[in-house]
Structure 1
Amino acid sequence: MPWFYLIVAGLLETGWAIGLKYTEGFTRPLPTILTITVMAASIALLGIAVRDLPVGTAYAVWTGIGTVGAVILGMVLFGDPVHPLRLACLGLILAGIIGLKLAG
């Protein structure tokens, strides 16, 4: 179950990273409230996951999921550059996440 919590926390991290763009510097009330709520939920689930997982592994996987998700959504939603080197680097991050999962 801790890995499930960690994956959901990572997906929520993606959500709040993208949400930051919509807050426009925390000047828009509804996106700001939603982003802060998702931030709190993400951190809470990370906290639950680290009860049973090594903190270094959990944190790296959490940030890795958030990073990969934010980069992909940035490409899809905001027209961020899609370049083979960027995609290769995302692959390396994914390989690291999988490796950490397999290692424990």
Structure 2
Amino acid sequence: MAWLVLVISGMLETAWAIALDRSAGFSRLVPSLVFAVTLLLSMGGLAYALREIPVGTGYAVWVGIGAVGTALVGMLALGESTSLPRILCLLLVVAGVVGLKIFH
């Protein structure tokens, strides 16, 4: 259960990062509220998962999922660069996250 919560929390990290960008420095209400709610849920899920998963592993997986998710949303929906080197770097992050799960 802790791993499932950790993965969902990582995906929520993507949501709050995108909402933070869309909030325009907290000047737009709806994205600012989405940011606050998803941040709290993401952090709460991370805290829950860390009851069973070591902090180094849990935090690295959480950040990795959030970073890759945010980069993918940026590339697929926000017009950011989809260069081969960038995609290869994201695959390395995914490999690291999978490795941390396998060798937990």
Count, aligned residues: 104
Structure 2: 5+ residue stretches without partners: none
Deviations 1:62-84 (A, max 9, x none): 00000000000001121000100
Structure 1: runs of 5 or more not aligned: none
State whether structure 2 residue 28 is matched by structure 1 residue 16. Answer: no
Task: State TM-score, norm by structure 2.
Answer: 0.98
Q: How far 1:31 sits from its partner (Å)? A: 1.0
Alignment root-mean-square deviation, CA: 0.6
| Displacement of 1:22 | 1.1
* Alpha-carbon distance between aligned partners in 1 of 2:41 and 2:62, rounded to the nearest angstrom: 13
Corresponding residue of 2:95: 95
What do residues 31-89 of structure 1 show as CA deviations (whole Å, max 9, x unaligned)?
Answer: 10111110000000000000000000000000000000000000112100010000000
Identity of aligned residues (%): 42
Q: Which amino acid in the other structure matches residue 28 of structure 2?
A: R
